């Protein structure tokens, strides 16, 4: 590598898109830029009380252009742009959208601009709980187990449940919807100037974990399976895909239009997309049997295992096991929690109500001072709660919470479940309740680890990446104590974007394999949290109570209690 060879990684998160320019020879970050979705920030097209969370494609398009252009400007302008060899993209998932035959999301077409059903259905949207339950009941009637590679339970967070719900809910969208596309597939299609949906290269990662694609089935389950579920799905598989591609494969070259918009050469390669956690695991330098925990609004837990080690074994209750979804040639296993950072954000929002609704109307100080004070209080709230919670004594009667505020992703997906807090008393103040919520999210993480171990998959170590891992020592120390395992924190700030950049380097032929790119571009770890022996037994006892309370709540929900 005598000549400069740069790559761009683009990471679409729940609240923003972040782009990085990376020097492929050593993994050095040359520039980064974060763009917050303006429509999403205003709460448009969402209804949390109905579990509806939609995102407009314009947020994605504008964020793609602005973040990359800003990166190029920061990295040196035209000189840096000339050295860009490839771009790769990761996104949240499953976050699909209805498109026409040209692959255009319906929200970009006249008449659908303000229709939430024509927009991307974000991963955390749970409006399709009914459809997911019907898919699970329907699949049980078949001799072939079409759910065998997705943990045996289909989730409302996934591809087919969301499609069926949208088709049922909106006649206009149903009539205009030719196909159904994941966010991680659409961005590369957009960048390469795709005009025919049948030519889109679909992600192995997305299709295998969320859409029931499997090598054993030679693609998707047969049309008869879906037509018998609901006639609305009859013929839909013919407008989807059979082949899938790992993220080390080029989707094509950048289109002249996008090359001009971004100021890049027209020979820049675009990689096949994948989900954020899977590329993030690569950016975080995942090792076989080491659980990569991408900790943000939710968590995605990723394991990569040599195929020969798990041949014929099916892991129950997780979010899928897919050959090549993380590292080509290895089996990728996914689990996770539907609410992690979102749990803390919910509690912050709860405590912030008087600040946001009363402080603005005070006559004691002027509006500018009130706004400044409001922002200062909001910024300090979680750090101060963490500080005070860490100082609390530990007793057997401490408040205990269940972390299902957005349902349960794994083990055993059930998005109808709700969160709970027990052992409340008049002495239960904000730090104590916050501590209970933090412990609950860590107990949820332990549930996942124990499921892997119970299914014969050892977990040899934990790698923490994402915003919570980097910014919340109290949460990470609690998790180390709950898991009774060390947690290494990857030092790169935008680890998912770095993982995308590593894939871009392979797509460009700079590195021969993903493993080589991880070695050449990985930045290592900057912190490790070790279990505190004096707290391990306490949390083991608390975890037993957490499981008992969870079983009780699940039985109440199902009518068994």
What is the tens place of the pLDDT at every residue in 393-403?
Answer: 999 899 999 99
Instruction: Give the model's pLDDT for residue 4.
Output: 92
Q: Is the pLDDT of residue 513 over 90?
A: yes
Judge if 542 and 411 occupy the same domain: yes
Judge if 452 and 498 occupy the same domain: no
Instruction: Give the model's pLDDT for residue 367.
Output: 86
Q: Is the pLDDT of residue 359 over 90?
A: no
CA distance 192 to 259: 9
Q: Is the pLDDT of residue 540 over 80?
A: yes
Q: Is the pLDDT of residue 50 over 80?
A: yes
Domain count, the chain: 2
Burial (CB count <10 Å: 0-12, 13-18, 19+), residue 345: middle
Confidence label for 2 from pLDDT (cuts 50, 70 and 90): low
Q: Does residue 289 lie within any of the structural domains?
A: no
CA atoms within 13 A on the CB side of 97: 31
Higher-confidence residue of 511 and 368: namely 511
Higher-confidence residue of 228 and 361: namely 228
- pTM for this structure? 0.92
Residue 272: DSSP 8-state: P
Q: Give yes or no for a cis peptide into 94 (omega within 30° of 0).
A: yes
Judge if 23 and 122 occupy the same domain: yes
Q: Does residue 485 lie within any of the structural domains?
A: no
Are 465 and 488 in contact by the 8 Å Cβ rule? The answer is no
Structure tokens at 213: 């694609």
Structure tokens at 254: 């950048």
Instruction: Give the model's pLDDT for residue 312.
Output: 83
Judge if 280 and 412 occupy the same domain: no
pLDDT digits (tens, 9 = 90+) for 33-48: 999 999 999 999 999 9
Q: Is the pLDDT of residue 75 over 60?
A: yes
Confidence label for 93 from pLDDT (cuts 50, 70 and 90): very high
For 296, list phi and psi in degrees, rounded to 5: -135, -130
Reduced 3-state DSSP string for 106-169: HHHCCCCCCCHHHCEECCCCCCCHHHHHHHHHHHCCCCCCCCHHHCCCCCCCCHHHHHHHHHHH
CATH code of the domain in which 96 resides: 3.30.420.40
Judge if 520 and 536 occupy the same domain: no
CA distance 475 to 482: 10
| Residue 98 β-bridge partners | 180
3-state helix, strand, coil split of the chain in percent (to 5) is 45, 20, 35
Q: Is the pLDDT of residue 289 over 70?
A: yes
Instruction: Give the model's pLDDT for residue 166.
Output: 98
pLDDT digits (tens, 9 = 90+) for 99-133: 999 999 999 999 999 999 999 999 999 999 999 99
55, 54, 57, 65: which is closest to 10 by C-alpha? 65
CA atoms within 13 A on the CB side of 407: 19
Judge if 235 and 356 occupy the same domain: no
Judge if 182 and 100 occupy the same domain: yes
Judge if 383 and 279 occupy the same domain: no
Domain ranges, residue 391: 341-465+531-558
Judge if 544 and 518 occupy the same domain: no
CA distance 525 to 486: 13
Number of helices (H), then strands (E), in the chain: 19, 20
Q: Is the pLDDT of residue 424 over 90?
A: yes
Which helix (H) or strand (E) segment holds residue 181: the answer is strand 179-182
CA distance 502 to 451: 30
Q: Is the pLDDT of residue 3 over 90?
A: no
Judge if 237 and 356 occupy the same domain: no
Confidence label for 191 from pLDDT (cuts 50, 70 and 90): very high
């Amino acid at each position: 590598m005598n000549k400069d060879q740069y790559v761009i990684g683009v990471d679409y998160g729940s609240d923003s898109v972040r782009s990085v320019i990376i020097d492929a020879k050593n993994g050095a970050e040359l520039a980064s830029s974060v763009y917050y979705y303006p429509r999403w920030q205003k709460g448009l097209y969402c209804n949390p009380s109905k579990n509806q969370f939609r995102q407009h494609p314009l947020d994605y398009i504008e964020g793609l252009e602005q973040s990359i252009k800003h990166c190029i400007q920061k990295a040196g302008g035209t000189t840096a742009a000339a050295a860009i060899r490839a771009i790769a993209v990761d996104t949240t998932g499953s976050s699909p959208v209805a498109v026409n035959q040209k692959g255009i999301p319906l929200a970009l077409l006249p008449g659908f601009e303000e229709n939430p059903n024509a927009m991307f259905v974000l991963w955390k949207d749970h409006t399709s709980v009914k459809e997911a339950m019907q898919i699970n009941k329907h699949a049980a009637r078949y001799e072939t187990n079409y759910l065998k590679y997705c943990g045996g339970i289909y989730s409302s967070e996934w591809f087919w449940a969301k499609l069926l719900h949208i088709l049922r809910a909106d006649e206009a969208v149903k009539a205009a919807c030719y196909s159904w596309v994941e966010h991680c597939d659409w961005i590369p299609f957009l960048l390469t100037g795709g005009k025919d949906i049948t030519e889109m290269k679909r992600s192995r990662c997305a299709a295998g974990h969320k859409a029931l694609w499997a090598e054993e089935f030679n693609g998707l389950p047969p049309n008869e399976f879906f037509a018998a579920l609901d006639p609305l799905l009859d013929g839909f598989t013919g407008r989807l895909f059979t082949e899938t591609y790992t993220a080390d494969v080029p989707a094509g070259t950048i289109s002249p239009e996008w090359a001009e918009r971004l100021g890049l050469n027209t020979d820049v390669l675009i990689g096949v997309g994948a989900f954020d956690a899977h590329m993030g695991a690569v950016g975080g330098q995942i090792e076989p049997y080491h659980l990569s925990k991408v900790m943000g609004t939710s968590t995605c837990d990723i394991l990569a295992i040599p195929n020969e080690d798990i041949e014929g074994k099916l892991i129950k209750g997780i979010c899928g096991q897919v050959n090549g979804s993380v590292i080509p040639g290895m089996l990728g296993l996914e689990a996770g929690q539907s609410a992690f950072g979102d749990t803390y954000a919910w509690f912050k929002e709860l405590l912030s109500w008087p600040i946001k609704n009363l402080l603005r109307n005070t006559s004691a100080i002027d509006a500018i001072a009130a706004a400044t004070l409001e922002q200062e209080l909001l910024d300090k709230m979680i750090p101060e709660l963490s500080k005070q919670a860490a100082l609390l004594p530990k007793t057997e009667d401490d408040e205990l919470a269940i972390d299902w505020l957005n349902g349960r992703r794994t083990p055993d997906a059930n998005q109808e479940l709700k969160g709970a807090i027990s052992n409340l008393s008049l002495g239960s103040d904000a730090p104590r309740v916050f501590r209970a919520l933090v412990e609950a999210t860590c107990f949820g993480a332990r549930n996942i680890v124990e499921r892997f171990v119970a299914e014969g998959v050892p977990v040899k170590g934990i790698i923490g990446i994402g915003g919570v891992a980097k910014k919340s020592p109290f949460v990470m120390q609690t998790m180390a104590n709950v898991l009774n395992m060390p947690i290494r924190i990857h030092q790169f700030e935008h680890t998912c974007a770095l993982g995308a950049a590593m894939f871009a380097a392979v797509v460009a032929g700079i590195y021969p394999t993903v493993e080589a790119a991880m070695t050449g571009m990985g930045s290592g770890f900057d912190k490790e949290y070790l279990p505190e022996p004096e707290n391990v037994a306490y949390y083991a006892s608390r975890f037993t109570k957490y499981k008992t309370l969870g079983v009780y709540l699940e039985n109440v929900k199902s009518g068994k209690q």
